[in-house]
Amino acid sequence: MCSVCGCGHGETRIDGVSIDASHDHDHGHDHGHGHDHAHCHDPAHGHDHAHAHHAHHAHADGLSPSRMVRIEQDILALNNQHAAANRARWRDGGVFAVNLVSSPGSGKTTWLVETIGRLGEGVPLAVIEGDQQTSHDAERIRATGARAVQINTGKGCHLDAAMVGRAADGLPLPDGGLLLIENVGNLVCPAEFDLGEAHKVVLLSVTEGEDKPLKYPQMFAAADLMLLTKTDLLPYLSFDVARCLAAARRVNPAIEVMQVSSTSGAGFEPWLGWLRRGVQRARSLRPVAAAAVASQAAGHA
C-alpha cells in the first residue's frame, strides 16, 4: 500500500492484460528493482520536480523514517529514468506528448473526443487512457477512429512513466504525431509524476470550487496550461471566474489559461492552435529534422 496516498500496487492492466512490475521492456532500461514496495504502484515511479514532501509524509509499519526516505528516493529516481527514456523516444520521433490531469468529472474525455474530431486528419494522433477500472473512455476515443490504449491502474491513483512507456510499446505513432495522455482523475499524485510529456495541462470545471488551485497547488504549479471547462454552465452557477484565475496565477504566475466548453465550442480555436504549434515544434526539434536544417544552412553559407 502507498505510504503517501494509500492506493494499491500490483493490479495494473494495459488493454485488459496484467503487467508485472518486474518485467523488463525495451526502453533501454530495466524495470526490475529490489526496493521494498512501500509505495503505491506496480511499476516503480517518481517525478522530476524533486518534491521531497513525498518522503517527508511517508510512513509504514516496521520501517524507520530514514528507511522510508531511501525507498521513496529509489522509487522517484527510477521513475525519472523511465520518464527520460519516454521523452527521448518521443523527441527522436518528433512526437508532441501532452499529459491531461484533473479531478474526476472535469470533462477530460469529452474534451478529448471533441478535440480529435476538430483536429481532423492533418495531425496523426493517439491516446493513452488512464483509469482505475473499465475501458469505457478508450472505447469512446476509438469510436472517433483514433488509436487508443487503456491503462487500468486498479487501486493505483495515477499513471507513472513505466506504465506509459509500456502502453506506448503497443501504440506506435508516426513521426511528427500527437500523443494525448489522459491521466487518472486526481489532483494530488499525478502532479508529482513525470511521464516524459512536454506539458501538463490541468482541466478545472466551473462546477468545482474557485479555490481548487489553492487547495491543490502542486498540480497547478506543475501545469503549463489550465483549461477552465464547462463554461457554458456559468449562467447557472455562482462560480467566480476572476477569483479562480487569480488563485491559479497566485500558485503559478506563468500558467496560461483558456476558458472552454465542449458543449458550446468556446475556446477550441486557441486550444487547437496550441496543440498544432506544439506538434510543429516537436517536429522541428527531432534529430533528423534538426540535422536537415543545419545541413541546409551550411549549404547556403
pLDDT in tens, 151-209: 998 877 889 999 999 999 988 887 899 999 999 999 998 998 999 999 999 999 999 99
Environment class of residue 29 by beta-carbon count within 10 Å: exposed (0-12), middle (13-18) or buried (19+)? middle
Q: Determine the pLDDT at residue 77.
A: 80
Q: Determine the pLDDT at residue 295.
A: 59
Model confidence at 55, pLDDT cuts 50, 70, 90, reads very low
Q: Determine the pLDDT at residue 63.
A: 65
Grid cell, residue 132, equals 482505475
Nearest Cα neighbor of 103 from 212, 2, 243 is 212
All structural domains of the chain, each given as residue ranges with its CATH number in brackets, are 85-285 (3.40.50.300)
Mean pLDDT of 270-292: 89
> What is the DSSP code string of 79-122?
HHHHHHHHHHHHHHTT-EEEEEEE-TTSSHHHHHHHHHHHHGGG
Beta-strand pair 147-152/13-14: antiparallel
Nearest Cα neighbor of 92 from 282, 294, 295 is 282
Q: Determine the pLDDT at residue 35.
A: 34
Confidence check: pLDDT of 24 > 50: no
Q: Determine the pLDDT at residue 13.
A: 85
Q: What is the residue-averaged pLDDT of the chain?
A: 82
DSSP 8-state assignment for residue 149: E
Return the H-helix or E-strand segment holding 14.
strand 13-14
Confidence check: pLDDT of 58 > 80: no
Grid cell, residue 5, equals 496516498
Mean pLDDT of 68-91: 84
Model confidence at 22, pLDDT cuts 50, 70, 90, reads very low
Give the model confidence (pLDDT) of 222-259 as tens digits: 999 999 999 999 999 999 999 999 999 999 999 999 99
Residue pointed to by grid coordinates 472517433: 144
Q: pTM value?
A: 0.80
Grid cell, residue 70, equals 531511501
250 Cβ neighbours under 8 A, 6+ residues apart: 213, 214
% of the chain residues with pLDDT over 70: 76
In the sheet that holds 17-18, the strands lie side by side as 17-18, 13-14, 147-152, 125-131, 178-182, 96-102, 199-205, 225-229, 256-259
Q: Determine the pLDDT at residue 266.
A: 98
Grid cell, residue 242, equals 476572476
152 Cβ neighbours under 8 A, 6+ residues apart: 11, 12, 13, 14, 16, 131, 132, 133, 134, 135
Confidence check: pLDDT of 114 > 80: yes
Q: Judge contact between 181 and 107, C-beta under 8 A.
A: no
Q: For 147, phi and psi rounded to 5 degrees?
A: -80, 140
Model confidence at 15, pLDDT cuts 50, 70, 90, reads confident
Mean pLDDT of 76-99: 93
Q: Which residue has the higher pLDDT, 172 or 285?
A: 285
Confidence check: pLDDT of 4 > 50: no
Grid cell, residue 299, equals 549549404
Nearest Cα neighbor of 115 from 192, 169, 178, 36 is 178
